[in-house]
Amino acid sequence: MKTTISLAQTNIQLGDVEGNLSSILPLVKEAAGQGSQLILLPELWSSGYDLENREKYHHENQRLLPLLLKAAQNSRIWIGGSWIEKENGNFLNTFLLIDPQGNIAAKYSKIHLFGLMDEVQWLKSGNSIQIASFPWGSAGLAICYDLRFPELFRRYGIEGVPVTLIVAQWPTRRIDHWSTLLRARAIENQMFIAAVNCVGQIGKELFGGKSAVINPWGEAITEGSEAEACLLTTEIDLGEVQRVRQWMPVFKDRRPEIYDAE
């Protein structure tokens, strides 16, 4: 089975929810015109990293949600990206996946909050993984800092998913870590990794792009620059995952009884 994925490597404008939506809507149409079944938007694409004003963005995001649902329906494309949501009085960084019929198909709330940016002060962490179902197969969902936790990706690998989708705001000063970890997660779990980052200055931080789709061999089949906004589109052959896993049966050779912690 093959599918086509687009990554919207955008320059997020801090606090400008309307403007950020206006920027991504043409990319949704462009991706659909290129034959993509799915477009990924960066982490917190609608607002940028401004967690102190999370209440404001939650309300604005909910007001704009019908427009996003309509965009997916009009272009007949899946849309995925994270933004601020409020649930049971708690604010979450939630990866929202919308299907081509304009329905919310899956949600994943960021499990690993980034201590260096005091995310725990503003957000509640998620407590469950999320595997989304597509016509072409399944995919695990992850957000930014999750990339540093191989246990999450191994869980997705054990569950048999062929792709993990990652949305991020990853800074330029650690962009080599980003590129290295994307390849590591793909190689060790013999899966595709489709990961979108943003570019430009957001507040005091410069973000480093390098959005990429990595194949199960750890090779980038498409990759953005560190500085330029762009739309990356590529086709992936999910049969490659099965071929790699059969050729080198890493999962069969695991010894979880020795090293898996409870």
Give the span between the Cα atoms of 172 and 153, in whole angstroms. Answer: 23
Is residue 12 helix, strand or coil?
coil
Q: Which residues contact 22 (CB under 8 A, 6 or more apart)?
A: none
Task: Note whether 171 and 208 are within 8 A (CB).
Answer: yes
SS3 110: coil
Check if 144 is active-site.
Answer: yes
Token reading at 67? 């427009």
* Active-site residue identified among 43, 60, 85, 223: 43
Classified as helix, coil or strand, 158 is: helix
| Phi, psi for residue 175 in degrees, rounded to 5 | -70, -25
What is the rounded CA–CA span in Å between residue 243 and residue 17? 43
* Residues whose CB falls within 8 Å of the CB of residue 176, separated by 6 or more in sequence, listed in order: none
Residues 6+ apart with CB under 8 A from 170: 144, 178, 197, 207, 208, 210
Of the chain, the end-to-end C-alpha distance in Å amounts to 36
Strand 131-134 relative to strand 78-87: parallel, antiparallel, unpaired?
unpaired
- Among residues 60, 110, 124, 210, the one annotated as catalytic is 110
Among residues 119, 144, 198, 210, the one annotated as catalytic is: 144
- 150-158 and 175-189 helices, crossing angle to 10°: 30
Catalytic residues: 43, 110, 144
